[in-house]
Amino acid sequence: MKKQVLTLLFFTSLLSAQDPVAINPDRVNANLQALKQFGINEQKGNDRIAYSDYEIEARSFLIQKLKKLGLEVQVDFSGNISALRAGSDPKAPTVAFGSHIDAVPNGGHYDGNVGSIGALEVMETLVENNIETKHPFELLIFTNEEGGVFGSRALAGKIKPAALAVKTNSGYTNAEGVKRLGGDPEKIDAVIRKPEQLHAFMELHIEQGSTLYEKDIEIGVVEGIVGLKWWDVTITGFANHAGTTPMHRRQDALLAAAAFTLKVNEVIKSYPGRHVGTVGRIAAYPGAPNVIPGKVVLSLEIRDLDAQKIARLFDQIQEEANHIGEKYNTRIQFSPIDATSDPALTDKRIQQIIRENADLLGLSHLDLPSGAGHDAQDMALLTPTGMIFIPSVDGISHAPNEYSTPQAIAKGTQLLLNTLLEIDQTDFNPQLGNLK
Ligand code: HGY
Ligand code: MN
Ligand code: MN
């Protein structure tokens, strides 16, 4: 009998060491479903584009929930939502965590949402269980992640006037959009954080690729996040009558655009590595069946973990574009879009905390890079940063049938909480910044 009690006590203490406090899996998934209603479209996709009415409604929904928890909720000048819970040491820097709730047009319901609702669940669990942390805990919902990680770049002090003028998928510029969220673009520099104000940053996210799903692994420990550069490419030809202009006299900008698009793919594939390049948007002008397109504007995106490699690939694409321009009697010009992010490595110490806590929870894990951009990459400029991935079913993302299971979401959220609680107890040497 005595032995049984001792055994029970042992398991109880082991359990509590493994799992400082349990999140509520039903609540996380119910909140995720509730969030889905803001912006769901006929294809069951998500049209909650940054700065849209849908996003504004979804933000109010979250703000109400955060206020009900008794947190100090604010919208900063760049539109980020911040919800603060005091720690026992009033002078301690904050442990920040969060994600985004904006989506690409006709996107999915898990990208960003899982990390945002997971962060809400962390706060719900801490409040409900009266858990005192040493550091203040701060939940962040970032502005316009999909249009160039705008909110996290603002915190890192990387927003220049050009970024404010960028027109986003909502039709609003960032400056107009930020105002719609309750921010003030003219005061944006006031949101810049100093490294000493932050202890660490964590983001939970879906993988958006198929590595974890194919290998049947529960957790991804993110080693680094690719950098991502965007350009507008303008091809100028000559608009003329499609019926009367003979084929040899044409300056068809769309033809040059087609050759350019193929060439981007060829150049990218001609080098070994994980880098990727995409032409994702194209518009031909004037855009009529009976007019030869005189102008085309398309987008070019290149991603890699190495900024120099991105630069080299771009140089070669530019050189090839000159030949294409000559061949089709058109002019091809590149203009960088100020909505891009630099590659970032996550903090090795935090990676290890995530691995150890995954082991304690009995979760299988794998180290992997992120091919998607995330707010964590700009937060990594400020503070030790970590990211947890959960599997995306079939590796689908930025599409309506993006999906992660409720179980995977609950596991990721529990791991987020446990990791944050350990980070709270860990002294990082601030001099080291993100330990590479
Ligand atoms: O496009 C991206 O990688 C990210 O989802 N914003
Ligand atoms: Mn995304
Ligand atoms: Mn995302």
177-210 pLDDT, tens digit each:
999 999 999 999 999 999 999 999 999 999 999 9
pTM: 0.89
Q: What residues are in contact with ligand 1 under a 6 Å CB criterion?
A: 111, 145-146, 372-373
Residue range(s) of every CATH 3.30.70.360 domain in the chain = 227-336
Paired residues of 139 in beta bridges: 83, 97
Q: How far is the CA of 55 from the centre of ligand 2 (A)?
A: 15
What Rg, from alpha-carbon coordinates, does the chain have? 24
**Rounded Cα–Cα distance for residues 252 and 263 (Å):** 17
Task: Spell 366-388 as b/e; 16+ CB within 10 A means b.
Answer: bebbbbbbbbbbbbbbbbbbbbb
- pLDDT band at residue 141 using 50, 70 and 90 as cut-offs: very high
Mean pLDDT of 425-430: 83
Residue 16: per-residue pLDDT = 47
Cis peptide before 286 (omega within 30 of 0): yes
pLDDT of 392 > 80? The answer is yes
Nearest one of 261, 297, 293 to 279, comparing CA atoms? 261
CATH code matching the domain that covers 227-336, chosen among 3.40.50.300, 1.50.10.10, 3.40.50.720, 3.30.70.360 = 3.30.70.360
pLDDT of residue 339: 86
Q: Which atom of ligand 1 is nearest to the CA of 371?
A: 3
Mutate which of 48, 100, 104 for ligand 1? The one with the most ligand atoms within 8 Å of its CB, which is 104
| pLDDT given for residue 391 in this prediction | 98
Q: Which residue has the tokens 């951009």?
A: 373
Give every CB contact of residue 113 below 8 A, 6+ residues apart in sequence.
32, 35, 36, 99, 101
Q: Which part of the chain is CATH 3.40.630.10? A: 8-226+343-424
pLDDT at 433 over 60: no
Of all protein residues, the one whose alpha carbon is nearest to atom 4 of ligand 1 is: 373
Architecture of the domain whose range is 8-226+343-424: 3-Layer(aba) Sandwich (3.40)
